[in-house]
């Protein structure tokens, strides 16, 4: 059956920095929401102009890890609401330069205790941290995106937080890529991809994706996801949006520093990987950290409006 590729946006943090937004640790991309929210809306608009059909709220750093426990307690919900409102304004006000389709807003629900650190996940605290994010974003989003989730437990916590919400939930896992086993890809927790895909389907995910890992590890994960969902009889779209980083050490802290980018992952290089993902059955494609509007424009030139078997 032919399927159309849906284009996501790219990495917001580096795009904000490139546009002159305030950007430092520990706040990371949350600092732009606090001090220069206009830059957030402009970054969203740039990705829309490049061809993105789904943009993701800039709520990834709205966790105590980045903004501190005290500020999260007092301002977490308001900052999430601002992130949702800015994305909604960009989606509604800026015509999609390449399609008459309505741009959708995905409400980003991030790893709560640090990227790439499923070992730090605290299931007991997860509901209290997710609740203000969901409440703030809810008035503005078309769907939910639990992203850069390094363990099945993280995905399950997101699903639990949205149990009463009727909007679609997309689950996006991050994959081990330091010394990956390309034949048996795993989450950063060590859990097999097939097990993670089954868990996402069991919890009602309307799409299963892989993100914020090197592009080389995506294809086999997509193949396994397609086979696993096929065996379940589940017609759930799959997709990928990789980062442009060199391999990260297993003990790396979330956004520990502004990472170098790979020279080979310019728009043309990244597009080559995206072609492979489409061949593996991906129908949702975009970019993560280090992937800018120019990359999304290249994806649109290849995939915009096209259908694939």
pTM of the model: 0.93
- Residue 286 token pair: 């975009």
Q: Taking all residues of the chain, what is their mean pLDDT, rounded to a whole number? A: 92
Listed in sequence order, the residues at least 6 apart from 272 whose beta carbon sits closer than 8 Å to its beta carbon are none
Residue position matching structure tokens 């919890």? 203
- Residue 45 token pair: 């608009």
User: Tell me, what's the pLDDT at 308?
Assistant: 53
Whether pLDDT at 222 is above 50? yes
12 vs 251, which has greater pLDDT? 12
The beta-strand segments (E) located in 74-192 are: 104-109, 143-149, 169-173
Strands 307-308 and 3-4: antiparallel
| Whole-number Å distance between alpha carbons of 127 and 132 | 9
Peptide bond connecting 91 to the previous residue in cis, omega within 30 degrees of 0: no
Contact present, 48 and 91 (Cβ < 8 Å): yes
How do the domains of the chain map onto residue ranges? 3-308
CATH of domain 3-308: 3.20.20.330
In order, the DSSP letters of 248-308 are PPTTPPTT-S-----TT-SHHHHHHHHHHHHHTT--EEEE-TT--HHHHHHHHHHHTT-EE
- In tens, the pLDDT along 143-174 reads 999 999 999 999 999 999 999 999 999 999 99
CB atoms within 10 A of CB 166: 5
């Amino acid at each position: 059956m032919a399927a159309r590729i849906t284009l996501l946006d790219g990495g917001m943090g580096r795009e904000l920095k490139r546009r002159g937004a305030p950007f430092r640790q520990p706040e990371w991309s949350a600092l732009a929401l606090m001090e220069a929210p206009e830059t957030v809306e402009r970054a969203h608009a740039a990705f829309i102009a490049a061809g993105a059909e789904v943009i993701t709220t800039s709520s990834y750093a709205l966790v105590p890890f980045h903004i501190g426990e005290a500020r999260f307690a007092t301002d977490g919900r308001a900052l999430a609401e601002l992130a949702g409102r800015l994305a909604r304004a960009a989606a509604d006000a800026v015509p999609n330069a390449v399609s008459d389709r309505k741009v959708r807003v995905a409400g980003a629900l991030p790893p709560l205790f640090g990227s790439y650190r499923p070992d730090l996940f605290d299931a007991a605290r997860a509901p209290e941290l997710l609740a203000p994010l969901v409440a703030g974003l809810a008035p503005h989003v078309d769907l939910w995106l639990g992203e850069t989730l390094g363990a099945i437990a993280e995905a399950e916590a997101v699903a639990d937080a949205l149990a009463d919400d009727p909007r679609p939930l997309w689950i996006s896992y991050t994959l081990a890529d330091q010394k990956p086993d390309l034949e048996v890809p795993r989450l950063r927790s060590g859990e097999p991809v097939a097990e993670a895909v089954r868990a996402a389907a069991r919890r009602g995910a309307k799409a299963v994706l892989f993100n914020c890992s090197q592009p080389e590890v995506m294809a086999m994960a997509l193949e396994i996801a397609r086979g696993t969902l096929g065996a379940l009889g589940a017609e759930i779209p799959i997709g990928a949006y990789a980062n442009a980083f060199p391999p990260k050490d297993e003990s790396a802290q979330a956004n520990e520093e502004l990472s170098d980018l790979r020279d080979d992952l310019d728009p043309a290089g990244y597009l080559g990987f995206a072609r492979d993902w489409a061949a593996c059955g991906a129908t949702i494609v975009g970019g993560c950290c280090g992937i800018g509007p120019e990359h999304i424009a290249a994806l649109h030139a290849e995939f915009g409006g096209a259908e694939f078997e």
